[in-house]
Amino acid sequence: MEAALGNVALIGIPGEPFMDMGRALKKAEGWDLVLPTCITNGYEGYFPMLDAYDEGGYEARSSRFKAGVAEIIVEEGLQLLKEIQKTPIFPS
């Protein structure tokens, strides 16, 4: 789920993202501020970054998702933010 307020965007993640996911989403071009939110519209568990699976920490071991899930979420989130920018809030 995503929403925009002026040049500020909120992007919801339905679980617990790793900090690097938030950092990557905040780098979206064209926004003054991107605020990733966690446990939005439900809870699907942890979304570990690819390197966390190699490290074998608790979050990666307990996640029900395959390695690469966080990177996919970031990629799709950045794409959604681009699409929001193309859509006028107040169409004429």
Instruction: Give the confidence band of 90 by pLDDT, cuts at 50, 70, 90.
Output: low
14 neighbors 40 (Cβ within 8 angstroms) = yes
Residue 58 exposure: Cα atoms within 13 Å on the Cβ side: 1
pLDDT digits (tens, 9 = 90+) for 36-79: 999 999 999 999 999 999 998 899 999 999 999 999 999 999 99
Q: How far apart are CA 53 and CA 62, in angstroms?
A: 10
pLDDT recorded at residue 7:
85
pLDDT recorded at residue 2:
61
pTM of the entire predicted model: 0.83
pLDDT recorded at residue 86:
82
35 neighbors 10 (Cβ within 8 angstroms) = yes
